[in-house]
Amino acid sequence: MPQKHESQMEKRPLKTNNDIVLNDHLSQEFEEVLKDQFYFRDNLTHTYYQIKIVLNRFIDKGSNAAIKLFYKIKGLINGVDSASYENINNEIEMTYLSDNVIEINDGYLINEIIDYNDEQLNLAASRGYNINEFDKKYPNVKTYVYFPTRLEELLNNEKENRLLCRENYLRQLNNNISYSYLKINGIKDHQEYYFKSDGHWNAKGAYQGYKDIIEMINNDFDLDQVKEIEEEYIYEYEFKGNISSQIGMIGDSDHIVDYKLKDLGEYDYYADNNKTNLNDVKNEYKLNGNNTVYSDYDLYFGANYFLRIFDFKQEDKPNLLIFSDSFVNTNMSWIASHFNKTVIIDLRSKPEDFNLDYYINEYDIDAALILMKYSNMYFNGNLYIPLD
């Protein structure tokens, strides 16, 4: 049997004969290898999801029609206009394609809608408290928080709970800390700022985020004005992102677009202390031909290093520290172009001996920005800033 090493569809390494070790779980390991290396595996799983999604769509259409009929009959009996029900769901059409993937208007995919529970609300508050403690510990560092809002955060099974996690988070922050967020007022904004089948923002969303962040920081520091887009170019025409990979790569593809900003300036870039070229990093997986286990988003916008440093050599400008996840990959160079040095820390891969004081002092940090997807911002208990 030919040995495949990665699954393009699942973005994960596949089990091969080399993974079989003589132990108590031998039959289980052997079975996993057989399944992973099975002929036409990708086609089979893709078909499985297609069947599932056809069934889900069928059920969705059937149940929606039944509900509409129910309200129509109810309206006729009670003498009420049945349109009142339809208005509720007028804007967003939702079809569950799996337990955590929902298809909304025009084939856009979002993840499951959060039905906040006490544990999540407490976690969000605790994360906010951590940021406040950071701000208190470093009084000379001005702290900012930016929320790249996604539609999932706005929707909720219980409407009154909308944005409750964010509110709980913000309630912990003192007045010194500034915050801003990507304004999503409905489906159209989401479609404009996000990929069809990926959890990350697209170039337009990232640019809007960049603008919001610079405008927010500009209230306290004398930064250059937001830079305009000079050129727009398409990296990829058939991009299917990480949400569609959860359902066997079902769903529409869209383009990956990137922007080149006017007068970005010259800079040095270090990824995990190695001096390199950002464009090289962006393309490293493609160049190495080793891209299968990474998402296309990573492929074009760079992998997730623990430490990235931009040095724009603008001594008169402040130094910035960013705590972020992969959301910053798209616009980090744009943000960094307004500062002297920008240190970006991804707490997901922090080393055990991580010492925050070192980075604050070594790079003479003036401002700190927290920028993460909502799930990492509120619910990831591993991403507290270590302050001891």
Nearer to other proteins, 67 or 229 (CB): 67
How far apart CA 303 and CA 297 sit, in angstroms, is: 9
Shortest distance in whole angstroms from residue 291 CB to other proteins:
14
Alpha helices in the chain (DSSP H): 26-36, 41-78, 83-88, 118-137, 151-154, 164-171, 187-193, 203-217, 278-288, 296-301, 332-336, 356-362, 374
Least gap, CB of 385 to other proteins (angstroms): 16
Q: Which is nearer to other proteins, 84 or 176 (CB)?
A: 84
**From the centroid of its chain, how far is CA 144?**
19
**Please, what is the minimum distance in Å from the beta carbon of residue 201 to other proteins?**
12
Least Cα distance to 15 among 25, 274, 1, 31 occurs for 31
Nearer Cβ to other proteins (106/115)? 115
Radius of gyration of the chain (CA): 23
In angstroms, rounded to a whole number, what is the distance separating the alpha carbons of residues 291 and 15?
17
> Least distance in Å: CB of 192 to other proteins?
20
3-state secondary structure of 177: coil
Nearer to other proteins, 59 or 76 (CB): 59
**DSSP helix/strand/coil, 111:** strand
Question: Tokens 């393009």 sit at which residue?
Answer: 8
Binding site for other proteins (CB under 8 A): 9-12, 24, 26-27, 30-32, 34-36, 38, 41, 44-45, 47-49, 52, 55-56, 59-60, 63, 67, 94, 96, 98-100, 112-113, 157, 199-200, 242, 245-248, 293, 295, 325-326, 348, 373, 375-376, 380, 382
Residue type, 324: S
Q: How many residues does the chain have?
A: 388
Residue 92 Cβ vs other proteins, minimum distance, rounded to whole Å: 12
Q: Which is nearer to other proteins, 112 or 133 (CB)?
A: 112
179 - beta bridge partners? 145
185/382 with CB nearer other proteins = 382
* Residue with smaller CB distance to other proteins, 296 or 311: 296
Q: How far is CA 290 from the centre of its chain?
A: 22
Smallest CA-to-CA distance from 332 within 239, 237, 264, 240 is with 264
Least separation in angstroms between CB 134 and other proteins: 20
Tokens standing for residue 294: 């990474």
- Least distance to other proteins, CB of residue 173, Å: 24
Q: How far apart are CA 323 and CA 342, in angstroms?
A: 11
Helices 164-171 and 118-137 sit at what angle, rounded to 10 degrees?
30
Nearer to other proteins, 128 or 199 (CB): 199
- Are β-strands 320-324 and 341-345 bridged in parallel, bridged antiparallel, or unpaired? parallel
Write down the least CB distance from residue 156 to other proteins, Å. 11
Nearer to other proteins, 143 or 246 (CB): 246
